Chains A and B, each alone.
Chain A
Amino acid sequence: MDTVFGMDAIVFWIIATMAMVNVTGALLGTFLVLRRMSLLGDAISHAVLPGLALAFILTNTREPFPMLLGALVAGLLTVLLTHLIHRYANVPEDAAMGVVFTSLFALGVVMITRVASHVDLDPGCVLYGVLESAALDTRNIAGMEVPRVAVTLSAVFLATVVFVVLFWKELKIVSFDPQLATTLGINADRVHYLLMGLVAAFTVAAFEAVGSILVVAMLIAPAATAFLLTDRLHWMTLIAAATGILIAILGRNIAAVYDAPVAGMASVVAGGLFMLAVLFAPRYGIVARRLAQVRLGLRISGEDLLGLAYRWQESGARASLTASGALEAAGGGVVSRVALWLLRRAGLLVKSGDSVRLTASGEERASRLVHRHRLWEAYLAKHLPLPDDHLHSPADRMEHFMDSDLQRQVEEQVPEPHGPSGAPR
């Protein structure tokens, strides 16, 4: 059996072909997702059909070049018609796009059935493509058997990479602020149509190999996944591309285990990776945000305990503060308990018997906290017409969030913080 890089040649070409599809889709998709035009890929991938039909009618072949050209024309026509209808018929852009692409798709179907009724359209091929058999349809290039689809795809892949590298700063500014781009003399429309032309070419080149699901999925999923993982454009592009390669490898290997269509499995993997990012992305993931909330809750609860102990000692109460009383006053529940445990571990609070007491370092921390609280009370008293007994609770919230910069500004405005506001609560 033929091998490439020590791998079964067919397996290699399946993965390589799909990786090219995925990386191309990821690069183009990055800019579609950022410009909130994710579904344009879906629209174009349907709307290219009449272009393909026309190219077939005119040339009577299924050679890649006329097909790509036909698709390009139809793809750009979709974008142009959507734009014109939106602009001149005063129809919302998404509705204009929906009308244009469904009409063009239907037109394509009619053209194909009229002219080429003998052509067999297998729904399975449309959805999943024919990657497995396409890998067998090879040509000899420089002594190596290369699948035909891989040749076409590598051309689109290279064109996309060159486009993104050459027009990097134009793509960046046109996606972020098209108005500024225009005033700088960078033609936003030209960049837009170049991008759309590549999306159309990509759609056609990839369609035969991997089918419509993966084409649309790859224009959205890797970019959307990368969006959650970083907040720099160049990293987003690279992570999206890497995600695309990962999807190709995982998709083919999992499909082999379950004997499932490779492209279909790859789309499932893409969705799975996106869900993982939704859950576990370091900053924007659900888990990370939940953890940050828990950490904040612990900090606030701990600071409440410190403040409470400080005010208790300051008031000169004879009875000592009981742990259970403190926990109850700090909101009770698991969070307060954990916060108390953390304070004791950090050596800010000691517990002897049932009573709790601040250590020296705990007292220092607490005094700064209470200072912030009283500063804010004084500030509110000065600037808001609030009765005195309404000052405590807003200050109680603010004491946890006042950073040194804000504190300095408040101190400039209120030289004298409020004294202890009555008995400890």
Chain B
Amino acid sequence: MGPGEIVCLLGSNGAGKTTLIRVVLGLLRPSGGEVWLFGRRVDGWMPHRIPRSGVGVVPEGRRLFPKMSVYENLLMGAHGRAAPAEVRARVEELSRRFPLLRERAGQPAGTLSGGEQAQVAIARALVGRPRLLILDEPSLGLSPRLCLEVFRLVREIHAAGTAVLLVEQNARQSLMVADRGYVLQKGQVVLAGTAADLRADPLVRRAYSLAEA
């Protein structure tokens, strides 16, 4: 992945997408192979060093800290990285883009609706000013309208200069926002190419029912 790209990683459940992300984040140790990030080899790093090196994550299922307030969740997004004053400024900045963050600052994150949680999770990943944003199934469990909203947001983040790795089952929409894509099946990359190529690939079309859309 190059800087400033949007790459999407497609595949059905169990294809190995989330495993790959876990390896990248250092939560699983690879049995073989290497992971490179920003010009450094990072496999074998302790998990906390990866986010601190400039990676923001929106985990699958969003995984906000349910009993912490929205504000505290945002603070967690820059944990161990920045001075408190700087973090506060950044949160302030994000609150202009997401008015929700200010309105609900004190509310426990677990009580938000799915769409609101998605916004908070994305904002949380951005607090640390990441150079790379990883989104794992951001559309899961959202209504199509909210999905579109999320994808619009992804494009906006990308326009601001952050590289994005989008892990999705929802092939159609991810291929529309992405530059390039990889298709995983049973733990292997079976297809790789530009988004336009993948959109046209018959296998992808069949597997993801793009034809009907």
Asked whether A and B interact, the reply is no
Where the two chains meet, the residues of B that have a C-beta atom closer than 8 Å to any C-beta of A are none
